[in-house]
Structure 1
Amino acid sequence: MSTVAPTDAGAMKRRLGMSDAVVIGLGSMIGAGIFAALGPAAGAAGSGLLLALALAAVVAYCNATSSARLAALYPQSGGTYVYGRVRLGAFWGYLAGWAFVVGKTASCAAMALTVGAYVWPGQAHAVAVTAVVALTAVNYAGVQKSALLTRVIVAVVLAVLIAVVVAALTSAEADTARLHIGSDATICGVLQAAGLLFFAFAGYARIATLGEEVRDPARTIPRAIPIALGITLAVYTLVATAVLAVLGSGGLADASAPLSDAVRAAGTDWLVPAVRVGGAVAALGSLLALILGVSRTTLAMARDRHLPHALAVVHPRFGVPHRAELAVGSIVALLAATTDVRGAIGFSSFGVLVYYAIANASAFTLHGGRSSRFVPVTGLAGCAALAIALPWSTVLSGTAVLLLGACLYGVRKARATGARQ
């Protein structure tokens, strides 16, 4: 099957190489999730936290592999919105795009609020809005500047995480007995924790959504995605092991700032300010990459008139979808000023899992033997299991929003049919 060409008046320039793509993926994954998700995940999984991390990584690997195969065939902006449309039909592509844009817009708000919580807790909403405006301006100025800033952010966050790991594992409080799986770990708890931890892995799709801006995408994207995912898994495993060793699953579940509490327990209080800075910088990195990815999927949907076609414009000088970026930035700023971080994260997780379920279903239709279909089947089943295991309030609200999107699609299709008649 041939690739799909963009249909708008302008095409974006291919400026990103392998290292840029990997760094953007790292900036999307190694972000605020590891600073915030460990506590709630430990509360759900107990001593089964590392098992939940492994399960989330398996699902993420399947999703990444499916996404990489599809991105090599369809190297244009939009990610699973494009894959679902071509492989499964227009409705499934639309639903994937809807789930991504709505879910990730909520995630943008959550990351912005995380920045505010770390920088100035008393004025978290004001700081969040300021961060959204500033990073939207960075993205507007061109994707190469975004990639450069992401390199700096990734370097800072990795340095902080390495410091936390070394401090925790070399302290007198570290106890490997706390890493053993006990009777408090249940199947349902591990599944729910994996769903929460999956939120921290989901950024590898950002590489695929930049398909029109990557040089030699058929070669670059399938390599960049697993490299970024592998590095992220190694970092997360080290951090989770170190924090568990000093706090235990009970102490971790009760921690409002797990990494800060871990360095305190390790007797290295002087690291706490650095961890706070790391948390803020990590959230900024995630927010930067999220706005980048959501705007590209918005561009793809606007090209097909599933969103206002006025958004399907590429800036003649900067080579970015500037109207889509401004629209996304405005909505995220509004959400950051009015919503709370926990609800935004839960809703985002559900939408992202639906998005990847459609990606796996799309990859299942590609030519290949049984071995090539094992991965998408496993990924699809894993996405469904983790989505259902999320809190019921999240599942119900997420399902309601998906149904709303389906209704809007039906109305648009009915109008288009009536116009042709």
Structure 2
Amino acid sequence: MAKKIKLKDAISIGIGGMVGGGIFAVLGLAVSLAKGGTPLAFLFAGALALITSYSYVKLSLAFPDRGGTVKFINQGFGKSIFSGGINNLLWVSYIIMLALYASAFGSYAPNLWELTGSKTWDSHLYASAIILLATAINYYSIEVVGKIESVAVVIKLIILLGFVGIGLYGLIGNENINQLSPENWEGTFQLITGGMVIFVAYEGFELIANAAPDIENPKRNIPRAYYYSVLFVVLLYIVIAGVTVGSLPFDTIAKAQDYVLAEAAKPLLGQAGFTIITVAALLSTFSAINASLYGGSRVSYEIAEDDELPHELTSQFWNQPVGLLITAVATLLLANTLNLESISTAGSAGFLLIFAAVNYTGYKLSDQVKSNKIIPLLGSILCLAAWVVLIAQQYTSNRLGVLVAVGITLVCFTIEFIYKKYGHPR
């Protein structure tokens, strides 16, 4: 009999999925877009994640399955071109997240080597090296991946909570705290856009769905796992954003955009703080790459099992799903060709569409899953509206990111159409 997952472990899955490399990767980007209103931008994104978690709660209780999101989409739309396209987009969005984490690792790593006096390489070399290392670990042992993630979650939370505690104290008397005042906020449209660009920092709560069949006392613990983890992370991100904006001038944040959390530790703890946060970022992004590589390969396996991609993806390569190798190669390609903002835009756009579909499933099956119709319908509408706002705003400032986001979506549906029409599902 499989060992049941207790509430604290289920909450850890949600928190670990969200507080991966996302906050280290996108915080500087969020400040560049929202300025003093960055905490509000994180609140907007968090509110959307919380509404979506309601649909995940109801669907996880009604359809507990290790396929998680893939299972929910298929329940709502059947095994159609649409469900296949959305599930393909989920796999690609995992790859985009991996590229985001790898890019963040590549941005933080040179700082550590500079501190030790070692030779500094180009950030792309660090990003590529960590992808290859994580891939090797995944091929070697899934058990090792789990152990790394368990240790990393504890360490990064201790460091981040320490940063928050010391940072809040350090804001007293700091002249930069005035940057948080409303006159330094961007307009409402820009604040919402800032929240949507960094929405990828919240997407990890959906990993709880994959663990739903094994959660102890599911009727009580599944809702608590989702809501407690999302609310905790929303509060954590808002405070981290506030401490960062209140500690550093905007021009300093702009110069250190790719590793701004480490820079924000300097006024509080000096060079030691910079080093500690850099180590935390490297550990967090490495553990997130490890876990997401495993998750991405499992998603491709589930999609192929459901006849939405060729069954060759269920075959093994060195005793691991061949999807792991494809996921790793695609991640290397994205991490070395796109900038951080383009990767973040594409990732957020993908998950907004995926969550819109999950929310619509919650609405469509509300009688079956015993849910309120209004909340999932609102979630679906808001996710689609957020996608439109994101695409419209970013088209003027980050056209490449928009073209990548839209192009990836179209490719995912085109592949599914071709496979459904000309492939040979079982």
TM-score (norm 1): 0.85
Contact 2:96 2:347 in 1 (8 A): yes
Q: Which amino acid aligns with 2:312?
A: A
Q: Name the structure 2 match of 1:209.
A: 210
3-state SS in 1 of match to 2:357: helix
1:181 positional shift = 1.6
Q: Distance in 1 between matches of 2:288 and 2:163?
A: 20
Q: Name the structure 1 match of 2:82.
A: 92
Q: Name the structure 2 match of 1:45.
A: 34
Q: Name the structure 2 match of 1:322.
A: 321
Residues 148-159 of structure 1 correspond to what in structure 2 (within 5 A)? 148-159=147-158
User: Which residue of 52, 57, 75 maps to 1:63?
Assistant: 52
Q: Name the structure 2 match of 1:77.
A: 66
User: Which residue of 296, 305, 312 maps to 2:307?
Assistant: 305
User: Which residue of 235, 260, 263 maps to 2:262?
Assistant: 260
Contact 2:301 2:321 in 1 (8 A): no
Q: Which moved more, 1:243-252 or 1:56-65?
A: 243-252
1:84 positional shift = 1.8
Contact 2:26 2:344 in 1 (8 A): no
Contact 2:25 2:101 in 1 (8 A): no
Q: Distance in 1 between matches of 2:28 and 2:177?
A: 19
Q: Name the structure 1 match of 2:115.
A: none
Instruction: Decide whether aligned partners of structure 1 residues 374 and 151 sit closer, same or farther in structure 2, where only a CA change above 3 A counts.
Output: same
Q: Distance in 1 between matches of 2:295 and 2:65?
A: 12
Alignment of 1:365 onto 2:364:
yes
Q: Which moved more, 1:55-64 or 1:66-75?
A: 66-75
Q: Name the structure 2 match of 1:383.
A: 383
Q: Distance in 1 between matches of 2:313 and 2:370?
A: 41
3-state SS in 1 of match to 2:307: coil
Q: Name the structure 2 match of 1:112.
A: 102
User: Which residue of 266, 269, 278 maps to 2:271?
Assistant: 269
Q: Distance in 2 between matches of 1:240 and 1:137?
A: 35
Instruction: Decide whether aligned partners of structure 1 residues 370 and 228 sit closer, same or farther in structure 2, where only a CA change above 3 A counts.
Output: closer
Contact 1:72 1:221 in 2 (8 A): yes
1:364 positional shift = 0.7
Q: Which amino acid aligns with 2:19?
A: I
Instruction: Decide whether aligned partners of structure 1 residues 396 and 159 sit closer, same or farther in structure 2, where only a CA change above 3 A counts.
Output: same
Q: Which amino acid aligns with 2:273?
A: L
TM-score (norm 2): 0.84
Q: Which amino acid aligns with 1:21?
A: A
How many equivalent pairs are there?
405
Alignment of 1:415 onto 2:398:
no
Contact 2:14 2:204 in 1 (8 A): yes
Q: Distance in 1 between matches of 2:92 and 2:333?
A: 14
Q: Which moved more, 1:118-127 or 1:51-60?
A: 118-127
Q: Distance in 2 between matches of 1:180 and 1:115?
A: 32
Q: Distance in 2 between matches of 1:59 and 1:20?
A: 24
Q: Name the structure 2 match of 1:223.
A: 224
Q: Which amino acid aligns with 2:70?
A: Y
1:140 positional shift = 4.4
Residues 158-197 of structure 1 correspond to what in structure 2 (within 5 A)? 158-171=157-170, 172-173=173-174, 176-182=177-183, 184-197=185-198
Q: Which amino acid aligns with 1:377?
A: L
3-state SS in 1 of match to 2:241: helix
1:305-352 Cα distance to aligned partner (Å, 9 max, x none): 322313225899x9xx63333332343244445544332222111111
3-state SS in 1 of match to 2:35: helix
Q: Distance in 2 between matches of 1:315 and 1:251?
A: 47
Q: Distance in 2 between matches of 1:167 and 1:98?
A: 43
Q: Which amino acid aligns with 1:96?
A: I
Q: Name the structure 1 match of 2:245.
A: 244
Q: Which amino acid aligns with 1:94?
A: G
Contact 1:104 1:352 in 2 (8 A): no
Contact 2:342 2:402 in 1 (8 A): no
Q: CA RMSD in A?
A: 3.1
User: How much identity, in percent, do the aligned residues show?
Assistant: 24
Q: Distance in 1 between matches of 2:185 and 2:169?
A: 27
Q: Name the structure 1 match of 2:413.
A: 406
1:362 positional shift = 0.7
3-state SS in 2 of match to 1:122: coil
1:105 positional shift = 0.5
Unaligned runs of 5+ in 2: 111-119
Contact 1:43 1:250 in 2 (8 A): no
Q: Which moved more, 1:354-363 or 1:142-151?
A: 142-151
Q: Which moved more, 1:41-50 or 1:129-138?
A: 129-138
Alignment of 1:395 onto 2:397:
no
3-state SS in 2 of match to 1:305: coil
Instruction: Decide whether aligned partners of structure 1 residues 109 and 144 sit closer, same or farther in structure 2, where only a CA change above 3 A counts.
Output: same
1:15 positional shift = 6.7
Contact 1:71 1:218 in 2 (8 A): no
Instruction: Decide whether aligned partners of structure 1 residues 129 and 249 sit closer, same or farther in structure 2, where only a CA change above 3 A counts.
Output: closer
Q: Name the structure 1 match of 2:113.
A: none
Q: Distance in 2 between matches of 1:338 and 1:53?
A: 27
